[in-house]
Homo-oligomer: A and B are copies of this chain.
């Protein structure tokens, strides 16, 4: 059986119920999105009738003669039950309800939610929401995110699919991704809010089967169907990486969550084990999730856990090495020929072990030499390229060129940490603008490699060759 979300995304006719003529209102924004970007036929419904964006405003769903494959309902909560009833009568079986004011606000909302649930069951309607942003896919011209682009920038089409229990998290993360590098990141985005029907497991099933989804990011506060979710994840994580945040880790978080998506906290240590066992890479902070996108979205998986560190600052090398241990990685033992070559090539005060410390005397050419041999060394599985550009003889433009070259070879994961003032900011901005992964500290760069390597280890444990996983192509 095809995942239930497939019919939403495969819709050829789409209806916006509650299309608004008031600029920037949710019903206006979603109508605009579909009229302008959806390649299928868009129908708009507003009881007042008239026109919007050159399209007819139908006064009722019943007025539409065509069959409707999917609809987005953007009416006040109190009108939602009767609107869903009409959807059912019209034979629409895929409905997104973005409006809030249901189970998440307490007793009054619970009643409305129950009415929707009953109607949904009566007609066999698949429902996304309520209290959500719904669905977004730039490649499909599908966008129920009811915030105007002036408020919420849209990332362009790319390999990452995201599903999230929190719409606000999703919106802010989407906004952030649109400003990350080229902004070409998103395949499908799914915000299912209260999960009255479609939940985290349905979302995972869909993006798992979706050929355009190369990696999966999640934000969860609880599980509606924990067992099914983990079973599904176990299968999918052998084909594409799944990573994300399971918030609500603590009693305090649970208290906050209760007034939000009515989520219940579980014993977090158990959750941690289950996620791990299902091959889901768990991250704790927002920053880390962005780091995942940069690392998995641009670099290949490593074939082992041996890291080479190249640095112009000893302290930064020590901090990176500490993080190598924290992330269960190893400092690579450079091959004897590489070691010999570096000893012969570099001044005696450069450290030619690992970290290779080209010191404050480094030039861009020194970086090139060190990176070339580290990259080509069979004993090295991944590379951390650390630069504090404040040293006297480093030509930052040359360094940027060298870094681009290696980050684009994609035979091994290659991450860069740039730390300092104007020159570091400039170099980071130029590299990121071309989707070259740059991190603001040695620790974050190494941790990004750690996440890539964790996934390699997981795949190997299950007999999968990490070379078969191609996210970044």
Q: Which of A146-154, A202-210, A229-237, A403-411 contacts B (4 or more CB under 8 A)?
A: A146-154
Distance A176 CA – B421 CA, assembled complex (angstroms): 5
Contact B147 A105 (CB under 8 A): no
> Are B219 and A315 closer than 8 Å at their CB atoms?
yes
**Contact B172 A390, beta carbon cutoff 8 Å:** yes
Q: Contact: A315 with B164, CB < 8 Å?
A: yes
Assess the A443–B152 pair: CB atoms within 8 A.
no
Does B319 contact A286, Cβ atoms closer than 8 Å? Answer: yes
* CB within 8 Å for A260 and B318 given contacts A421-B153, A441-B285: yes
A101 in contact with B287 given A252-B331, A253-B322, A324-B252 (CB within 8 Å) = no
Instruction: Name which of A166, A284, A348, A390 has the most chain B CB atoms within 10 A of its CB.
Output: A390
Taking the closest CB of chain B, its distance from the CB of A350, in whole angstroms, is: 9
CB contact list, A90-110 vs B, under 8 A:
100-101, 104-105, 108-109
Q: Which residue of B lies closest to A26 (CB)?
A: B392
Residues of B within 8 A of A322 (CB): 247-250, 252-253
A164 to chain B, nearest CB (A): 7
If A171-B388, A287-B440, A421-B175 touch, whether A255 touches B321 (CB-CB below 8 Å) is yes
Copies of this chain, whole number: 2
Q: Would you call B390 and A260 a contact (CB within 8 A)?
A: no
Tell me which residues from 307 to 364 in chain A have a Cβ below 8 Å from any Cβ of chain B.
309, 312-322, 324-326, 330-331, 348-349, 351, 353-355, 357, 359-360
A371 contacts the other chain (CB 8 A): no
Point out the residues of chain B lying under 8 angstroms from A317, CB to CB. Answer: 256, 260
Report the Cα distance A167→B165, complex, angstroms. Answer: 46
Q: Which of B318, B419, B422 contacts A256 (CB 8 A)?
A: B318
Name which residue of chain B comes closest to A348, CB basis: B105
Across the interface, A425 reaches (CB within 8 A) one of B101, B108, B179, namely: B179
A-B contacts, 8 of them at CB < 8 A, read: A105-B349, A147-B392, A153-B422, A167-B360, A168-B316, A169-B315, A171-B313, A250-B321
Known: A256-B309, A256-B331. 10 other contacts (CB 8 A): A100-B359, A101-B349, A148-B392, A152-B390, A153-B422, A169-B319, A176-B420, A176-B424, A250-B321, A252-B331
